[in-house]
C-alpha cells in the first residue's frame, strides 16, 4: 500500500499524487463493496423464491445449473435471469419524458449503493468512518423515493403515477417513525458513528445489545424498514391486483431489473443497519470460547441473513395492507410510540448516577 502511494507521488508530483492515490484507493474499495453486494442481491432473489416455495409446499427454481452439475440445480437461476433481462429491449412509451424515464432507475439504485459507504463490516473494515454516519444513511435512503416518483411521472401512465403517489406518501410517513426510533439509539450511544454505536453495545453478552432496552424501537424500525423498501405487506406501490405493477408498469428489460436490484439492495441495507444498531453488529452473543472463535464479520452476516429471512417470511404470509391503514399505522401508532419512548429514555438518562451505575441499568448506560 505504501509502495503504491510512493509510486503515485513520483508519477503525478507532490500536489496531485496523494489526491489521485486516495481517489484510486477509494474506487477499488467501492468496487470491493459493490460487487459482493450485487452478488448478494442476485442470490437473495433465489433465496426468496426458494424459501417462499418451501413455505407454500412447492419446489421453486430447480432447473438452471452450472456445467450440468446436478446438485447445483437452481443455483444458476439469478445469472440466467440477469442475462435474460440484459437481452431484452427497453421500450420507451409514447409521450413519456425520455430523459427522466431513463434517469429514474439510475436515481433509485444510486442512493441504495451510496448508503453502503459508511457501513462498518468489522471494527476496521469501513470505507468512510464519518462522524454523522447514521444521518448520512438516513439521508441516502430518503433519496431513493425520487427514482420511484420520477418513474411514475415520466411513464405517462395513470397506473404508474398512482403507484408513485402512494409510494411517495408512504416513504415520507415511515421515514419519521424510523428517524425517531434511531434518535433513541443515538441517545443511548451518544454518537452518530455506526462503529461507536456497535462499540456501545459491548459488554459480554447479548443482554448488552440495544435490542433489550429498545425492543419496541427495534420493532418500529424494522417494520418501518419493510414499509420504506416497499416490500410486502406494504407493497401498495406495486399492488398488482389494483394498479397492475405500480410505478414500474411501463419498464422492461434491464431498466425494470435495476428497480429490483435497488429494492433488494435496500432490503439488505435495512437488515444490516438493524443488526448493527440493535443486534450488536459484529459482536458475538456470548463472549466465551466457541462464540468468540467465529470472526465478527461472520456474526454480522449471520444476523443480516436472519433479519432478511423475516422479509421473505412476511412476504409469504401476510396479506397486503389497505392504503389508509398503512397511513394510520405510520402516523397514529408508530410515531406516538417512538415519541413516548424518547421521553421515557430521556427521563431514565436523567436519573442520578447511583441508579444508572446499579444493576440492571449499568448494562446499557455507560
Residue ranges binding another protein (CB under 8 A): 15-16, 19, 100, 130-132, 135-136, 138-139, 142-143, 145-146, 149-150, 153, 161, 164-165, 168-169, 171-172, 175, 192, 325, 328
Which of 53, 165 has the CB closer to another protein? 165
Least Cβ distance, residue 325 to another protein (angstroms): 6
Q: Is the peptide bond before 158 cis (omega within 30 degrees of 0)?
A: no
* Gap between the Cα atoms of 150 and 297, Å rounded: 37
Least Cβ distance, residue 253 to another protein (angstroms): 24
Under 8 Å between Cβ of 134 and 111? no
Which of 31, 132 has the CB closer to another protein? 132
Least Cβ distance, residue 101 to another protein (angstroms): 13
Least Cβ distance, residue 354 to another protein (angstroms): 25
Closest CA relative to residue 46, chosen from 82, 6, 94, 88? 82
* Gap between the Cα atoms of 134 and 132, Å rounded: 6
The count of C-alpha atoms lying within 13 angstroms of the C-alpha of 67, restricted to the half-sphere facing its C-beta, is 0
Which of 236, 279 has the CB closer to another protein? 236
Which of 16, 313 has the CB closer to another protein? 16
Least Cβ distance, residue 93 to another protein (angstroms): 17
Angle, CA of 103, 105 and 109, to the nearest 5°:
115
Which of 227, 300 has the CB closer to another protein? 227
* Gap between the Cα atoms of 25 and 1, Å rounded: 9
* Gap between the Cα atoms of 9 and 12, Å rounded: 6
Amino acid at each position: 500500500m505504501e509502495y503504491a502511494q510512493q509510486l503515485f507521488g513520483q508519477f503525478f508530483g507532490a500536489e496531485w499524487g496523494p489526491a489521485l492515490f486516495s481517489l484510486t484507493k477509494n474506487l477499488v474499495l467501492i468496487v470491493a463493496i459493490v460487487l459482493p453486494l450485487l452478488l448478494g442481491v442476485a442470490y437473495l432473489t433465489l433465496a426468496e423464491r426458494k424459501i417462499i416455495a418451501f413455505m407454500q409446499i412447492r419446489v421453486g427454481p430447480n432447473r438452471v445449473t452450472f456445467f450440468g452439475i446436478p446438485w447445483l440445480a437452481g443455483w444458476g437461476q439469478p445469472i440466467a435471469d440477469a442475462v435474460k433481462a440484459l437481452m431484452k429491449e427497453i421500450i420507451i412509451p409514447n409521450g413519456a419524458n425520455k430523459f427522466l424515464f431513463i434517469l429514474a432507475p439510475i436515481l433509485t439504485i444510486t442512493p441504495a449503493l451510496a448508503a453502503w459507504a459508511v457501513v462498518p463490516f468489522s471494527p476496521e473494515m469501513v470505507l468512510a468512518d464519518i462522524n454523522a454516519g447514521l444521518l448520512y444513511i438516513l439521508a441516502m435512503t430518503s433519496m431513493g423515493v425520487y427514482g420511484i416518483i420520477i418513474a411514475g411521472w415520466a411513464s405517462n401512465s395513470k397506473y404508474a403515477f398512482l403507484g408513485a403517489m402512494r409510494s411517495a406518501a408512504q416513504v415520507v410517513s415511515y421515514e419519521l417513525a424510523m428517524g425517531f426510533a434511531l434518535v433513541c439509539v443515538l441517545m443511548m450511544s451518544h454518537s452518530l458513528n455506526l462503529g461507536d454505536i456497535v462499540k456501545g453495545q459491548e459488554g459480554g453478552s447479548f443482554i448488552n445489545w440495544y435490542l433489550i432496552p429498545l425492543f419496541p424501537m427495534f420493532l418500529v424500525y424494522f417494520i418501518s424498514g419493510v414499509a420504506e423498501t416497499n416490500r410486502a405487506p406494504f407493497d401498495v406501490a406495486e399492488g398488482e391486483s389494483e394498479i397492475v405493477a405500480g410505478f414500474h408498469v411501463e419498464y422492461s428489460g434491464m431498466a425494470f431489473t435495476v428497480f429490483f436490484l435497488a429494492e433488494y439492495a435496500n432490503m439488505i441495507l435495512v437488515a444490516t443497519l438493524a443488526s448493527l444498531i440493535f443486534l450488536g453488529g459484529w459482536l458475538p452473543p456470548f463472549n466465551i470460547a466457541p462464540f468468540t472463535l467465529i470472526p465478527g464479520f461472520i456474526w454480522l452476516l449471520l444476523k443480516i441473513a436472519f433479519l432478511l429471512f423475516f422479509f421473505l417470511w412476511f412476504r409469504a404470509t401476510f396479506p397486503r395492507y389497505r392504503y389508509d391503514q398503512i397511513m394510520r399505522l405510520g402516523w397514529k401508532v408508530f410515531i406516538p410510540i417512538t415519541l413516548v419512548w424518547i421521553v421515557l429514555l430521556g427521563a431514565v438518562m436523567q436519573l442520578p448516577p447511583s441508579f444508572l451505575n446499579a444493576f440492571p441499568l449499568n448494562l446499557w448506560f455507560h
